[in-house]
Structure 1
Amino acid sequence: MHVGIGLPIGDPAALLTWARRAEAGPFTTLGLLDRLVYDNPEPLVALALLAGATSRVRVQTEVLLAPLRDTALLAKQAATLDRMSGGRLTLGVGVGGREDDHRAAGVDIRTRGRRLDGQMAVLRRLWSGEPYGEGVGPVGPLAARSGGPEVLFGGFRPAALERVARWGDGFLAAAPPSWAGGLFETVHKQWKEYGRPGAPRIVAQLNVALGPRRVVEDARTAMHAYYAFTGTPDRMVSGLLTTPRTIREAIAAFGGLGADEVMLYCYGLDPDQVDRLADAL
């Protein structure tokens, strides 16, 4: 079972410390979430810096809100980061659900799913080196990985799960083990129905905080603020795992469901959590 670290967003300048500690430990991936109207670092910019400061760990958007972005520019940015990092980019993609993000980007939230489907057709074409369209040539550079960087889709609705088989390489599951199994089964079933070879890569996510009380309270406060838009932030905060035992048990549960990797998402800012989590594993 591979285990990655989801990075906190409250102190962008500290992320280099997190990345270097993760690189020195057992972790396989660094993940970073995406919002527009929020106090968080832009993920592709931040992950480019972290990729340059490391040599082994992968960097992953979790998830990038693609409908907020220009498609050709996104193709170029993602391919550049993948090429310059030696193929270490995983592009986790989703549609997002915050009205303010879409208003700021000038995108109609009601069309975000259709827009993402159209974007994926263009992205796959551009990453294969084909021209953008009539009278417009290719958008380089080519990614290190043939056909573009690895793409995982996040989400829960049927359309989001179906995109995994239609456009993606795997699934990002921000759901607890108690109901992630049904999502995994649906993704595998649709993968076969589309005639895709092999199997989709499954990446699960756990929200964790490990350390003294101040670290846990810092994480709870940050989570509550981030999920306030849902109207039920207390429910999200209640799922925070705060002991080595519960974290190990949840990782094992995801392993039993067939997950390939688990991302331990940290909201608390203390970088010593990287070492504590490594010890807990």
Structure 2
Amino acid sequence: MNVGLGLPVGDLEALRAWACRAEAGPFSTLGLLDRIVYDNPEPLVTLAVIAGATSRIRLMTEVLIAPLRPAALLAKQCATLDRLSGGRLTLGVGVGVREDDFQVAHVDYHGRGRRLDEQVRTMRRLWAGEAYGEGAGPVGPAPVRAGGPEMLFGGFVPATADRVARHGDGFLGAMSDPGEMGRFFRAVENAWRVAGRDGRPRLVAQANVALGPEPVVDAARRAIRAYYDFGGYRDKVVHGMLTTPAAIRGAVTAFGDVGADEVMLYCWAADPGQVERIAHSLP
């Protein structure tokens, strides 16, 4: 099973160092979150910089709030990043849950699910080389893989499993323990079979982590609390963060036992030394 690393957003200038140290270690993927109304870097721009600093490790949006962006422009951006990275892009997408992000993007919050479905259909057509529509031709460049970069859907509603089965390559789950994750993995696999898809969906689990002395962990807790300071599950996320090597080893093993193909360990402490600490904690 592969283990990836989610990049923190507290120190932009350190992200290239994070990426190079992760590529030199056991990690399979680098992930980056997406928001507008928050002090984080734009993920596609940042991953393009990281692509130039690395050569092996995969690059993943975790997850990109696709409805905030025009479909044709997003298709072009993703295909460009995929080409420039040598086909290393995994596009993790979701509908988003923060209304303020939609407010500043002038996008209808309540229609975001329908908008995502339409976007994905449009992007798949454009990546296949089809014209956009009447009066508008194809939108290049072509991605490395026929049909576009690997696409995973994130979310925990029945529509997510259906989107994976109809449009995606797999599922990306977060904020759940291995038992909950396993149940949703089974729902995704069932939707995949019902849709008549060949093979199986790729299943990715995410866990939040931070290692080090208590001041480092406390700062990480403050960072994750600020990011999830909405809705009713902030405390669950904060308390669920893995802060010891034993907890990380146990979670990675448990997610593998319920069928995860990859576990993304999203780090909330900013110092690049976290890369080696987390690497040494793996089973």
Pair 1:18 & 2:14 matched: no
Q: How big is the shift at 1:178?
A: 2.4
Please name the residue that 1:234 is paired with.
235
CA contact (8 A) 1:218 1:269 kept: no
Q: Which residue does 1:223 correspond to in 2?
A: 224
CA distance in 1, matches of 2:13, 2:133: 40
SS of the aligned residue for 2:34 comes to: coil
Name the counterpart of 2:115.
Answer: 115
The answer for the alignment partner of 1:209 in structure 2 is: 210
* Separation of aligned partners in 2, 1:141 and 1:30: 24
State the match for 2:46 in structure 1.
Answer: 46
Once the two structures are TM-superposed, the CA of residue 49 in structure 1 deviates from its matched residue by: 0.3
Write the distance in 2 (CA, Å) between the matches of 1:265 and 1:80.
25
Q: Secondary structure at the match of 2:152?
A: strand
> Counterparts of 1:1-281 in structure 2 under 5 Å?
1-174=1-174, 175-281=176-282
* Preserved contact between residue 93 and residue 152 of structure 1 (Cα < 8 Å): yes
Q: Unpaired segments of 5 or more residues in structure 2? A: none
Give secondary structure in 2 for the equivalent of 1:109: coil
Contact 2:179 2:258 in 1 (8 A): no
Once the two structures are superposed, residues 85-123 of structure 1 have per-residue CA deviations (whole angstroms, 9 ceiling, x without a partner) of 010000000000111000000011000000001101100
Identity of aligned residues (%): 65
d(CA) in 2 for partners of 1:13, 1:106: 30
Please state how far the C-alpha of 1:215 moved relative to its aligned partner.
1.6
Q: Do the aligned partners of residues 231 and 182 (structure 1) sit closer, same or farther apart at CA in structure 2, a change above 3 Å counting?
A: closer
Return the offset for 1:210.
1.0
Q: Distance in 2 between matches of 1:214 and 1:143?
A: 44
Amino acid at match of 2:114: R
Deviation at 1:231, TM superposition (A): 4.2
Q: How many residues align?
A: 281
| Structure 1 residue 235, shift from structure 2 partner | 1.9
User: Take 1:32 and 1:109, find their aligned partners in 2: how far apart are those partners?
Assistant: 22
- Partner Cα distance (2:86, 2:11) in 1: 27
Contact conserved, 1:64 with 1:91, CA < 8 A, in 2? yes
Equivalent AA in structure 1 for residue 129 of structure 2: G
**Normalising by the residue count of structure 2, what TM-score does the alignment of the two structures yield?**
0.98
**Deviation for aligned residue 1:271:** 1.1
Shift of 1:212: 1.4
SS at structure 2 position matched to 1:87:
coil
The offset of 1:159, in angstroms, is 0.8
Structure 2 residue matching 1:271: 3-state secondary structure? coil
Distance 2:232 2:157 in 1: 19
> After superposition, what is the alpha-carbon deviation per residue over 1:129-176, rounded to whole angstroms, capped at 9, x for unaligned?
110011211000000111100000000011122100100000001022
d(CA) in 2 for partners of 1:99, 1:188: 30
Amino acid at match of 1:196: R
TM-score normalised by L of structure 1: 0.99
Counterpart-to-counterpart distance in 1, 2:139 and 2:64: 20
**How big is the alpha-carbon RMSD for the aligned residues of Structure 1 and Structure 2?**
0.8
SS in 2 for 1:110: coil
